[in-house]
Structure 1
Amino acid sequence: MRFLKFLFWSLIALLSAPILGLSGVALYLSPALPDVETLRELELQTPLRIYSTDHKLIAEFGEMRRFPVNFDQVPSDFINALLAAEDDNFLNHHGVDPKGLLRAATELAQSGQIQTGGSTITMQVAKNYFLTSERVFSRKLNEILLALQIERNLSKQEIFELYINKIYLGNRAYGVEAAAQVYYGKSINELPLADLAMIAGLPKAPSRFNPLINPERAKIRRDWILQRMLNLGHIDQVAYQEAVTSPIRARNHGANPEMEAPYVAEMARLEMIERYGERAYTDGFHVYTSVSSELQSYANRALREGLIEYDQRHGYRGPEDRHPDADPANWQTILAPYRALGGLLPALVTQVDEEQVEIRLRNGNTGTIAWEAMRWARPYLNANSMGPTPRRPADVLKPGDVIRVIANEDGGYRLSQVPSAQAALVVVSPQDGSIQALVGGFSFLQSNYNRATQARRQPGSSFKPFLYSAALDHGYTPATIVNDAPLVFVDDYMNSVWRPQNSGGDFLGPIRLREALYRSRNLVSIRLMQEIGVDESLTYIERFGFPRSDLPRNLSASLGTPELTPLQIAQGYAVIANGGYKVDPWLIERIEDRHGQIIDFAKPVVTPEALAAHLERIQRYTSAPLALVEEPNTVLLAEQTVDPRTTYLLTSMLKDVITRGTAARARALQRPDLAGKTGTTNEQKDAWFAGYNGDYASAVWVGFDQPSTLGRREFGGTAALPIWMRFMAAALDGKPEHSQPVPQGVLSVRIDPLTGRAARPGSNGAFLEVFKEEDAPPPWDELDSGAYPVSDSMAPLELF
């Protein structure tokens, strides 16, 4: 009897010892364990995403690609595939699977090394969210205790959801939705069974079973999972057979942007970093910009085609590299360093024939360049001259040349080259200042320097409208006669003489202000600033949004010597286009958190024309009744800094720049609502065109990053205007005319073109001119009553 009692208590002790031991360990470790309730509120690290205003993805920033999904968004086939691969008893155990732990312990005893951890999905959640990957027993004990706590506090669906959104699956993909996007370019709920099984095989070893790196091993893992699903009754034989015979379809889809606007994305990224710091990369912000995907595509194409057109006018600079003795079979090695830039594809010349050239592209495709597609390629000598016209393909290209080509719609290719000049195009809305499209250079991959916002260059004559606006507000009219005659300025202290000239070197004498603007007469601009005063002129020009610090205090400012960015010029023209309201450029339209809740949105000042739409937008974002929008007439309306009659008169004059002036080729657009001004600096180092209608105010700059002449025949009207025309033609296609309406206080008077006075009945060449009511010339029949003092008919004829 004593022996039986001893045996009984010994068994009790043997059974109790491990329980007491584990209990002691649990009591010891539990106080240091984290609270699993925090899993309910945990925010996973999610990248920053930049979108267009029409919800097209522009770019993604952040180390981890992650798209968190809910349990209900995951197809049942994937759930079954993952459970078959990782934890087929997940729905039955309470966080720990004793069979799995026993199997792991047996493998350790037999091999002396840890083979598998026996971890359930719940234990992996505990490790991924709270612990390290260090392979020690203390971590495993903590993992078990946390798993038990997680099972008591969270449902199986919540645990599964935490697991599939956290796991790393290779190629920067974190979570199953990111993996579906990276490997297949689709959402997880769009994938067939075979692809779902492929993703389910990745958690065990994302690099070893990666279908991009090890497709054969990945297929073995996939087929094993499919067999497990069949054995567990999750799929039938037909589904298994179809999936197991499916080919490997995975390929790297990267961030997969839906539109090309890298300069816009970089601007938005920098603004988000300024607002939120490093959180911008991890908190899953969705940033919607004001940029339209359609307008941006027009801007991209217009700038690139315009730059290529300019570049080819000046000849061919030769191949980017030469490999005359290279074996064409080594094309991959030769072309590997070259990337496509701005739609220009790198290619290797493999054979030169009498009428065409054969090429090999970087992707392995072959093609041909017909003679007609390369005969433009006269040798480049300098900006002003080229070599002889080539007579055959061999005069241009040789086997082994690394060149750039453009794909034609017919399957052939055209010879091209990466332009040496650069350009910028920016488009803003005159009604609220929103940036509608922006291109900062030929290719962001070539240079991420944003010339639309960072390049400060002299705008030349495209700056003159701001000075002419000052003149119209200081008593001048479009019909005022000003003398286009020589001026000489002597600086006794500097022992220097300044003799400004017109671009053609000629002088037209007395000329109406309207004609002086559309002919871009420099001497008239200088006289206007002289008459108004330098300080008074610059103070007035500040009304268009230019900081005074950017405006040099000298007469040369009248010719466009201030150093300004294309975005600043576009902003200034927007003030003219909208009737004198100062609007400020802005890019970020709204910011949403990872759950799609709006946390901030743009609150720009707007013109009266845009006020109703803007109030509706605020109501939509805040769910506040319009009546509760505080003081809309003072809070939201832009300040009117310029008399609307002045902008109307100025627009009338700038329309003549297109109909009869330096931008006459823009008549081809057949849009009476277009107005603008060319600009060219000394030695043709900068070419500009800025123009607008009521919908868009835009500016184009063309030049070299290191200032150098574009060529003696390159001006704003030849280098920049074609880019602007390409964009506006596409952007305004099908849209009605939109100009500033005639404001009150504007009169039309029939005038004599020689005097600027009211014309007598029957006068030859008389035409209608617009005036402010108080500046309109008296009727012709008041001449004899002294209404026209002779001294006021024109500005003084200063010759020197």
Structure 2
Amino acid sequence: MRVIKFFWWSLLALLCAPIMALSGAFLYLNPTLPDVDALKSVQLQIPLRVYSQDQRLIAEFGEMRRNPITIEQVPQDFVHALLAAEDDNFQHHYGVDVKSLMRAAAQLLQSGRIQTGGSTITMQVAKNFFLSSERSFSRKLNEILLALQIERQLSKDEILELYVNKIYLGNRAYGIEAAANVYYGKGIQELSLAQLAMIAGLPKAPSRFNPLVNPERAKERRDWILGRMNKLGYIDEPSLQVALSAPVDARYHVPSPEVSAPYIAEMARAEMVGRYGSAAYTDGFNVFVTINSERQQIANQALRKGLIEYDHRHGYRGPEARLGDKPLAEQLQRLSQLSTMNGMEPALVTSVEASGLMARLRNGEEHVVAWDSMKWARPFINSRSMGASPKQPADVVQVGDIIRLEKITKDEVQSWQFAQVPKAQSALVSLNPHTGAIEALVGGFSFEQSNYNRAVQAKRQPGSSFKPFIYAAALDKGYSPASLVNDAPIVFVDEHLDKVWRPKNDNNTFLGPITLREALYRSRNLVSIRLLQDIGIDYALKYAQLFGFEPDDLPRNYSLALGTASLTPMQIATGWSVFANGGYQIKPYLIERITDRDGKELFSTLPPAKQTTALDQEETGESMSLSQLAAEVAANEAAVEDLHMQQVIDERTAYLMTSMLQDVIRRGTGRRALALGRSDLAGKTGTTNDSKDAWFSGYNADLVTTVWVGFDQPESLGRNEYGGTAALPIWMSYMGAALQDMPNHLPSEPAGMVSMRVDPNTGRAAAPGANDAYFEVFKSEHTPPPAEPIGSFPQDNYGGAPSAGGSAAPIDLF
């Protein structure tokens, strides 16, 4: 009996020892364990996603690719595959599977090292959410205790939902929905049984069983899981055989944007980081920007086409590398280091024939390039000259050259054509003038080539596209479109520096007294300077600030009239919006609304109604002076700080400017735009000295668009390259398509305007019976004086007589 009692108590002690040990460990470790209740409100890391106004994906930012789904969205076949692979007793245990733990312990005793952890799905949830991946007994004990607590507080479905959304499955995919997208380009509910089993095999070792890296080992794992599913009764034999015979069809699928707008995406990302810090990348924000996906695509195509056409006009600069004397392996290695540039693929020339060439792409494919696509490639000498036209492909390339090809589809037939990445750059900004919403924006030829956003970062001289702001200042100072100003030589002398500035018109001709309207559509530099002389630099600088321009960007000398300010395309487009919307300053904005991971709106931009300030007409009809306006704006600055729109100039001035800028297209430097067949367009070219910058800005009442073309490091665009030849074609291509099927729309004529017949020779009201008189529009208080007998050269009646002299007071020069 004593022996029996000994064995009984020994057995009881052996049974109680683990319980006592676990109890002691629980009492010791429990105060340090995290609160399992946190799992009920866990926030999984979800990347930042940027969408267009019409909810098309532009970009995704974040380390983890994750698309959380509910347990109801998980296919039952996947649940069965997962349980067969990871924890077939999941529905029956209480967080810990003793058999699995004992098996793991036995393996440890036999081999001397940890082979499997014996973890259940619940234990893996505890580890993934609360613990590290350290292999130690203390971590395993914490894992067991947490799993027991999790099972007491969460249902099996809740545990499973946490698991399938948290697990890492390789290639930056976290959770099964992200894995389905990465490996198959589909949602988890669209996958076949074999594909579901493949994903179910990844949690054990995402790198070892990755179907992209180790397809054979991944298939072995998949087939084992399918066999287990059959053995456990989840699938029948026919289903098993069909799944086993399925090929490994996993491919890497990068979440591809539905809209190509990388510069927009970067602007949105930067703004979100400014608002939310690093949480912007992980908290599942959805950002809806103002751009219209269709207009953005039109802008992309217009800018690309315009730069390629400019590039072809100036010839072929040679291959990106000439490697004919290098070993093939070195040539291919160099080729693999290059990236695609806006659809232009790097390629290695492998043979040259009379009919064309053969070139190899990075993926190993070889394509024929026809001679016809190469005939443009005259040798580039400099921006003003090219070599002779090539007679055969060998005049252009040789074997071993690294060149660029682009795929062209015509009549449903694809071909590869000879190409060249343009060196010149461009930017396009398109705004809604009534709200400030950015409708489309392109910051350069290729974001892969350079993420420098020229639309908002490149400050360049706008040239004559700045003149309308000087003309508007003159109109608010008393001039009218019929005012005569002398287009004659003028000289500025700086007595202190012994410097002389003799500004001239682009064609070095002079027209004498001409109206403001004609001077603008002919872009006469000397008239702009005389206007600035008369209204005064101080007045002009303050007036320009009403359009949103910063004082530091504006030169304090008469060159301001010729557009020597330093401004971005966005600033120019913003200023031009004042003409398009009837005199209201806008604040361009990109983000329309922000939602959280659950779709709850966190931020929304609702454009307020137009706010009227001191430029409203008084009962007398006189607009307030600039000083009165500035005082009122300053006094109300705090009140209007967050408003998008504030009236800054007389709407009649905006109307007159639109009328005059329409003539730039009808009769002036923008005549090419007549090809669009619209009567509601107004605009202005701009070209700086030596054609280093080419601009075109224009609008109707619905859309304002500015285009800039130039080099990042300023140099001449070349002979015959002006705003009307380099920038205007891009503007036309965009505006023609963006406004297609939209009716003509110009601002309506405001109150306080009158129309009168004018004598073009005097700027006065036309005498009865005058044959060459024309109708002009005036502010009611600025109508021309009545006709008088022919006399000397007329004096301007609105703000002083324009100077006809050839010298002026000293000014600060360039």
CA apart distance, 1:790: 5.9
Distance in 2 of aligned mates of 1:221 and 1:606: 63
1:131-166: CA deviations, max 9, x gaps? 111111111111111100000000111101111111
Aligned position for 1:797: 804
1:165 and 1:158 map into 2 onto residues whose CA distance is 11
- Cα separation, 2, equivalents of 1:776 and 1:559: 28
Tell me by how many angstroms 1:35 deviates: 1.0
| Whole-Å separation in 1 of the counterparts to 2:795 and 2:333 | 80
Q: Secondary structure of 1:473's match?
A: helix
8 Å CA contact 1:578–1:607 kept in 2: the answer is no
CA-to-aligned-CA distance 1:313-368 (integer Å, 9 cap, x gap):
11111111122246779874352112110121212222222222222222333322
Residue correspondence of structure 1 range 567-716 to structure 2 within 5 A: 567-607=570-610, 638-716=645-723
Per-residue deviation, 1:755: 2.2
From 453, 464, 468, the counterpart of 1:461: 464
Q: Is structure 2 residue 38 aligned with structure 1 residue 38?
A: yes
Quote the RMSD (CA, aligned, Å): 2.2
- C-alpha separation between the residues in 1 aligned to 2:790 and 2:416? 74
Counterpart in the other structure of 1:85 = 85
> Which whole-Å CA distance do the structure 2 matches of 1:633 and 1:541 have between them?
19
Deviates more, 1:212-221 or 1:149-158: 212-221
Structure 1 residues 776-787: aligned runs within 5 Å? 776-777=783-784, 783=788
Calculate the TM-score normalised by the size of structure 1: 0.94
Shift of 1:61: 1.4
1:758 aligns with 2:761: no
Cα deviations across residues 752-797 of structure 1 (Å, max 9, x unaligned)? 22222223344333322111111123565xx4899x9866497342
Q: Report what 2:135 is aligned to.
A: 135
Match of 1:401 in 2: 401
Whole-angstrom distance in 2 between the partners of 1:448 and 1:23: 60
Measured against aligned partners, the alpha-carbon deviations of 1:165-223 in whole angstroms (never above 9, x if no partner) come to 11111111111111111111221112121111111110000000111111111111111
Counterpart AA for 2:39? L
Cα pair 1:662 1:678 within 8 Å, conserved: yes
State the secondary structure of the residue aligned to 1:679.
Answer: strand
1:442 aligns with 2:445: yes
Displacement, 1:606?
5.0
CA contact (8 A) 2:756 2:765 kept: yes
Q: Secondary structure at the match of 1:770?
A: strand
Distance 1:785 1:689 in 2: 40
- Partner residue, 1:261: 261
Q: Say if 1:321 and 1:401, in contact at 8 Å, map to a contact too.
A: yes
C-alpha displacement of 1:281: 1.4
Kindly indicate whether residue 246 of structure 2 is the aligned counterpart of residue 246 of structure 1.
Answer: yes
2:53 equivalent to 1:53: yes
Q: CA deviation at 1:491?
A: 0.5
- In the alignment, the residues of structure 2 paired with residue 785 and residue 498 of structure 1 have an alpha-carbon distance, to the nearest angstrom, of 35
Deviation (angstroms), 1:692: 0.9
Residues 521 and 418 of structure 1: is their aligned pair in 2 closer, same or farther, counting only changes over 3 Å? same
**In 2, Cα distance between the equivalents of 1:790 and 1:577?**
32
Deviation string for 1:351-406 (max 9, x for gaps)? 22222222222233332222221111111000101111111221112122111122
Cα contact 1:456–1:563 (8 A) shared by 2:
yes
Task: Output the CA distance in 2 between the equivalents of 1:152 and 1:123.
Answer: 13
Structure 1 residues 776 and 546, CA gap change in structure 2 (3 angstroms): same
Relative to structure 1, the CA distance from residue 280 to residue 637 in structure 2 (aligned partners, 3 Å threshold; closer, same or farther) is: closer
1:225 alignment partner in structure 2: 225
Q: Check conservation: 2:435, 2:644, Cα contact below 8 A.
A: no
Q: 1:191 to 1:38 in 2, by over 3 A?
A: same
Identify the residue that residue 629 of structure 2 maps to in structure 1. none
Pair 1:415 & 2:422 matched = no
**CA distance 1:726–1:234, shift in 2 (3 Å):** same
User: Which string of whole-angstrom CA distances, capped at 9 and with x for unpartnered residues, describes residues 539-597 of structure 1?
Assistant: 11111111222222111111111100000000001111111111101111111111111
Partner SS, residue 173 of structure 1: coil
Taking the aligned partners of 2:12 and 2:418, their CA distance within structure 1 comes to: 89
Q: Judge conservation of contact 2:425–2:709 (CA < 8 Å) in 1.
A: yes
SS at match of 2:128: helix
Distance 1:637 1:490, change over 3 A: closer
Q: Is 1:376 aligned with 2:376?
A: yes
2:698 counterpart SS class: strand
Give the secondary-structure state (helix, strand or coil) at the position aligned to 2:339.
coil
Letter aligned with residue 549 of structure 1: D
Equivalence for 1:532: 535
Contact 1:584 1:604 in 2 (8 A): no
User: In the TM superposition, what is the alpha-carbon distance from 1:254 to its structure 2 partner?
Assistant: 2.0
Report the CA distance between 1:267 and its aligned residue.
0.9
- 2:489 aligned to which of 478, 486, 489: 486
Q: Distance in 2 between matches of 1:550 and 1:354?
A: 55
Deviation at residue 245 of structure 1 after TM alignment: 1.5
Q: Where in structure 2 are the equivalents of 1:765-780 lying within 5 Å? A: 765-777=772-784
C-alpha distance in structure 2 between counterparts of 1:715 and 1:748, whole Å: 35
Distance 1:635 1:264 in 2: 22
Deviations 1:717-771 (A, max 9, x none): 1111111111111111111112111111122222222222223344333322111
Q: Which residue is equivalent to 1:746?
A: 753
Q: Give the count of matched residue pairs.
A: 775
Note the C-alpha offset of 1:292.
1.5
Q: Which runs of 4+ in 1 moved over 3 A?
A: 1-11, 325-334, 603-609, 632-637, 783-786, 788-796
Q: Displacement of 1:10 after TM fit?
A: 3.5
Q: Which amino acid aligns with 1:660?
A: R
- For the pair 1:501 / 2:504, whether they are aligned, the reply is yes
Which SS does the other structure have where 2:164 is aligned?
helix
Secondary structure of 2:251's counterpart equals coil
Residue aligning to 1:184: 184
Unaligned 5+ segments in structure 2 are 613-638, 808-814
**Residues 328, 350 of structure 1: 8 Å contact kept:** no
Letter aligned with residue 531 of structure 1: D
Question: What is the distance in 2 between the residues matched to 1:277 and 1:710?
Answer: 41
What is the distance in 2 between the residues matched to 1:135 and 1:250? 32
Q: In the superposition, relative to structure 1, how do residues 142 and 247 fare at CA in structure 2: closer, same or farther (>3 Å)?
A: same
The 5-angstrom pairing of residues 163-562 of structure 1 reads 163-325=163-325, 332-409=332-409, 410-562=413-565
Q: Deviations over 1:473-529 (max 9, x none)?
A: 111111111100011111011111111111111111111100100110000000001
How much does 1:605 deviate? 4.1
Residues 458-484 of structure 1: CA distance to partner in whole angstroms, max 9, x if unpaired?
100000011111111111111111100
Tell me the amino acid that sits aligned with residue 171 of structure 1.
N
> Match for 1:696: what amino acid?
L
CA contact (8 A) 1:128 1:166 kept: yes
- Structure-2 separation of matches of 1:4 and 1:338: 82
* Structure 1 residue 298, shift from structure 2 partner: 0.9
Deviations 1:424-475 (A, max 9, x none): 1111110110111111111111111111111111100000011111111111
Q: Which amino acid aligns with 1:704?
A: F
> Counterparts of 1:700 and 1:785 in 2: how far apart (Å)?
45
Name the CA distance, whole Å, in 2 between partners of 1:768 and 1:296: 40
Distance verdict in 2 for CA 1:360–1:637, change over 3 Å: closer
Aligned-residue offset at 1:2: 4.7
Could you tell me how far 1:18 is from its partner in structure 2? 2.4
Moved more, 275-284 or 595-604: 595-604
* Distance verdict in 2 for CA 1:507–1:282, change over 3 Å: same
- d(CA) in 2 for partners of 1:510, 1:799: 15
Contact 2:795 2:802 in 1 (8 A): no
Deviates more, 1:3-12 or 1:165-174: 3-12
SS in 2 for 1:523: helix
> 2-side partners of 1:276 and 1:633: how far apart?
25
